[in-house]
Structure 1
């Protein structure tokens, strides 16, 4: 017998029934690092890069927020959630890399780990899309959950 929560007794996929769970405050934080390279980082002015497509970081943050809200549309077993807040931060680490952090919070019956991971991923993918004219050697690295609070267990890396 499998311990996976998304598999039923007949080994078919299922969406977990959360009707008996209590509503609690929940938060998840995901992080990614992204190699942009000096060619791209050198184009920044005042912590932002403006391309023909517009301001890269501002656009990427909006894309990440949209992705958080649409997570249940693209990850089959995720429940649609009423999101209380999304905060995405992008910072330059050094001459070649950036860090992207996505924090998602709700009051609900299930966690928001997938929403935070989806948000940080979409933010990075948008940066890639907007910067690929400069250089296609960018690398999205180390997308990971760094914190989860609320529900049955807490987690912090």
Structure 2
């Protein structure tokens, strides 16, 4: 395994130097999964949550999170995001899965942006639905796949 590069010679945190890295197209896909009461999922799908269209708001929140990731993760490089998209899939009972895809052409990957997008979308759904279902659970957030860069391809599938 490579030596950790987030520490300087004085053993203090630093932002990794990507100056000499080659620009490549980089794609990352992440997901967050929410468990909720069946009634909550039903009302989300029917657009009957008092605060508004839950999935539309979560979509925008996720895109905003992808664009602003470096503002709240200290060692994350600011990136020019060229695409951010989210999709929502449910099991018809009590589980909603958010999938976030983020793309850039740059010197470092967009894994953190995809993970942030999925996470913030999940938190937005919780926020909009907590009045009717405080027991909602964000059960899994993970990187599904990434491509581009020196480390190549990754897939959790």
Whole-Å separation in 2 of the counterparts to 1:106 and 1:32: 21
**Number of aligned pairs?**
154
User: Is 1:138 aligned with 2:141?
Assistant: no
Q: Deviations over 1:19-43 (max 9, x none)?
A: 1001100000001111022120232
| Contact 1:65/1:119 (<8 A) preserved | yes
Whole-Å separation in 2 of the counterparts to 1:5 and 1:21: 14
TM-score by length of 2: 0.94
Unaligned runs of 5+ in 2: none
Task: Please list, as runs of the form range in 1=range in 2, the aligned pairs for 1:107-126 lying within 5 A after superposition.
Answer: 107-126=105-124
Whole-Å separation in 2 of the counterparts to 1:134 and 1:48: 15
Whole-Å separation in 1 of the counterparts to 2:47 and 2:62: 17
Task: Please list, as runs of the form range in 1=range in 2, the aligned pairs for 1:1-157 lying within 5 A after superposition.
Answer: 3-44=3-44, 47-153=45-151, 154-157=153-156
Q: Deviations over 1:76-131 (max 9, x none)?
A: 00111000001100111230111100000000000000000000000000000000
Unaligned runs of 5+ in 1: none
TM-score by length of 1: 0.94
Whole-Å separation in 2 of the counterparts to 1:34 and 1:24: 33
**Local SS of the residue matching 1:143:** strand
> What is the Cα-based RMSD across aligned positions, in Å?
1.3
**Local SS of the residue matching 2:78:** coil
